[in-house]
Amino acid sequence: MSAGPADPVVPPPAAEPITVEQLQEKVLGTVRPLPEHPLPLMDALGLALAEDVVSPIDLPRFDNSAMDGYAVVHRDVATATGEAPVHLPVVGEIGAGQARIRVLSEGTAVKIMTGAPVPAGADTVVPYEWTDRGEASVRITQAPEPAQHVRPRGDDVSSGDLLVERGTVLGPRHLGLLAAVGRDRVRCRQRPRVVVLSTGSELRDAGSELGHDSIYDGNSYLLAASARAAGAIAYRVGIVPDDPTTFTEALHDQLVRADVVVTSGGVSMGDFDVVKEALAPLDTMWFGPVAMQPGKPQGFGTVGEDAVPVFTLPGNPVSAYISFETFVVPALRRMMGLLPEVRPTVPARLTHAVTSPPGRRQLLRGSYDESHGAASVSPVGGAGSHLVGNLAVADSLIVVPEATTSLAAGETVQVVRLDVPF
Ligand code: AMP
Ligand code: MG
């Protein structure tokens, strides 16, 4: 049957929302771990190690002194007491990094500083406290145990020991150990380069003048900072006006330096939804609703010859942020080889009743507290996705499942803790 002129114009049926997990699966099915490279240690902080690191040396590297004192042969001092002190000639001094004396003869002592190599022949260190601190000759008034105050070679780490396992997320203590065995570079997956574009003709850069109808672009900072906090390298491109040609040009200009592109705004049902207009025709892009609040309108896919993953997040700041945490962070972690990809939730007692729309997973801003023993979480502010004041106060997201429309105070909920490393 053909539509006659009298028929009303019927809008296309609205797409059925997909679930949060369905979009996460689509994302994780698309993005790939980035290549591994040897990286300078400081650049590897927070990255997953892509090799097993085996120690090339012993630690300590040589028998060394645990005290400032005198290196001696134990036999020579075994009888020393206050009443019957032992006197030994002092043949020199060994400072840390200044070990000119390498061998000690029986019947002599050498001054030695903490960390300095114990000379061959010596087996024990007498601390200053048990001596008269003599220069030419030393008077020893207490007998150490054999080998006392000597840190033996290889006592801590032996050459060939597995020091840090592949997959370990490198923290300060790992970097300290790697440097201590002489490694200045380690293989890690490189950090993803994330390009962040804000769309909206109403947007102005922080620090510039506002017109009567303009607002500051908070999102590019919010999202670029979130990318950096997730371990990525963020390029904050800033504002692109609501013009599809300008947007497409800006996007293509950025692809050369992007492992991921994140845009905000321009994906809902308005008249100037520039991102959707420019990208929806590509069969490599998906746009549609996700059964969540905030963050219902989403888009994801790949663009360009190199199939760069592109996330088109909604424009409202809270929606943009929660979408980033929910979909972009797992992608960045997959690229970096970090597990788990999706942030785990923790249970907490809800302090106040909340309501939620049916059929959508609501992610309410919350404030998490475990200072009084059992974990609790309090809703922060309202559900409006423009409430950036409240967003900055929140430290967690309260998950209200799709089928739940109300929760009473005291019920246990799942909580996403936003600032906790995982
Ligand atoms: P849109 O999806 O582009 O219609 O944006 C939804 C709402 O978010 C509008 O009120 C926008 O003005 C606002 N918005 C969009 N982008 C930004 C941004 N970068 N910073 C702050 N607010 C924004
Ligand atoms: Mg807009």
Tens-digit pLDDT profile for residues 125-145: 999 999 999 999 999 999 999
218 lines ligand 1 (CB under 6 A): yes
314 lines ligand 1 (CB under 6 A): yes
198 lines ligand 1 (CB under 6 A): yes
Please determine, for residue 6, whether its predicted confidence score (pLDDT) is greater than 90: no
266 lines ligand 1 (CB under 6 A): yes
2 confidence band (pLDDT: 50, 70, 90): very low
Q: How far apart are CA 115 and CA 34, in angstroms?
A: 42
SS3 116: coil
User: CB of 124 within 8 A of CB of 108?
Assistant: no
Q: How far apart are CA 311 and CA 300, in angstroms?
A: 5
Name the residue with tokens 């409430």. Answer: 387
pLDDT at 311: 98
pLDDT at 11: 63
DSSP secondary structure string, 15-69? PPPBPHHHHHHHHHTT--PPPEEEEEGGGGTTSBB-S-EE-SS-BSSS-EESSSE
pLDDT at 210: 96
Q: How far apart are CA 380 and CA 137, in angstroms?
A: 74
pLDDT at 238: 85
Q: What is the mean pLDDT of residues 306-334?
A: 98
Q: Which CATH class is domain 64-151?
A: mainly beta
Arithmetic mean of pLDDT over the chain: 95
242 lines ligand 1 (CB under 6 A): no
Q: Residue 10: how many CB atoms within 10 A of its CB?
A: 7
Written as six digits, the tokens of 187 are 């293989």
- Partners of 234 in the β-ladder: 194
For ligand 1, what atom is nearest to the CA of residue 242?
A: 3
For ligand 1, what atom is nearest to the CA of residue 266?
A: 3
215 lines ligand 1 (CB under 6 A): yes
124 lines ligand 1 (CB under 6 A): no
Give the model confidence (pLDDT) of 48-83 as tens digits.
999 999 999 999 999 999 999 999 999 999 999 999
pLDDT at 270: 75
The H or E element that residue 76 is part of is helix 74-77
- How far CA 65 is from CA of 89, 109, 282, in Å, comes to 19, 13, 69
Q: What is the mean pLDDT of residues 185-197?
A: 97
Written as six digits, the tokens of 399 are 């998950």
Q: How far apart are CA 290 and CA 279, in angstroms?
A: 18
Q: For the purposes of burial, counting CB atoms within 10 Å of the CB of 289, is it exposed (0-12), middle (13-18) or buried (19 or more)? A: middle
Written as six digits, the tokens of 107 are 């019947």
Range with the lowest mean pLDDT among 1-15, 87-101, 165-179, 191-205? 1-15
Distance from the alpha carbon of residue 295 to the mean position of ligand 2, in angstroms: 14
For ligand 1, what atom is nearest to the CA of residue 239?
A: 19
Q: How far apart are CA 157 and CA 57, in angstroms?
A: 8
Fold for domain 43-58+158-189?
Answer: Molybdopterin biosynthesis moea protein, domain 2 (3.90.105)
**Least distant ligand from the CA of 387:** 1
The H or E element that residue 349 is part of is strand 346-350
**Least distant ligand from the CA of 217:** 1
Which of 239, 242, 264 should be mutated for ligand 1, with most atoms under 8 A from CB?
Answer: 264
206 lines ligand 1 (CB under 6 A): no
pLDDT at 385: 83
315 lines ligand 1 (CB under 6 A): yes
Give the model confidence (pLDDT) of 83-106 as tens digits.
999 999 999 999 999 989 999 999
Alpha-helix residue ranges (DSSP H) falling in 193-337? 219-229, 244-254, 274-279, 317-323, 329-336
pLDDT at 1: 45
pLDDT at 5: 54
Range with the lowest mean pLDDT among 171-185, 218-232, 376-390? 376-390
Please determine, for residue 9, whether its predicted confidence score (pLDDT) is greater than 80: no
- Describe the crossing of helices 20-28 and 329-336 by its angle, rounded to 10 degrees: 30
| Residue 119 DSSP one-character state | P
Give the model confidence (pLDDT) of 355-399 as tens digits.
999 999 999 999 999 998 999 999 998 778 888 889 999 999 999
Query: What CATH number was assigned to the domain covering residues 345-416?
Result: 2.40.340.10
289 confidence band (pLDDT: 50, 70, 90): very high
Q: Which CATH architecture group holds 20-34+190-336?
A: 3-Layer(aba) Sandwich (3.40)
Distance from the alpha carbon of residue 318 to the mean position of ligand 1, in angstroms: 10
Q: Do domains 64-151 and 345-416 have the same CATH topology?
A: no
| pTM reported for the whole predicted model | 0.89
Q: How far apart are CA 230 and CA 258, in angstroms?
A: 16
Please determine, for residue 10, whether its predicted confidence score (pLDDT) is greater than 60: yes
- Partners of 312 in the β-ladder: 263, 299
- Partners of 170 in the β-ladder: none
Q: How far apart are CA 85 and CA 80, in angstroms?
A: 5
| Residue 222 DSSP one-character state | H
For ligand 1, what atom is nearest to the CA of residue 314?
A: 2
Distance from the alpha carbon of residue 296 to the mean position of ligand 1, in angstroms: 14
Distance from the alpha carbon of residue 348 to the mean position of ligand 2, in angstroms: 36
Domain locations in the chain as residue ranges: 20-34+190-336, 43-58+158-189, 64-151, 345-416
298 confidence band (pLDDT: 50, 70, 90): very high
Which of 213, 216, 219, 279 should be mutated for ligand 1, with most atoms under 8 A from CB?
Answer: 219
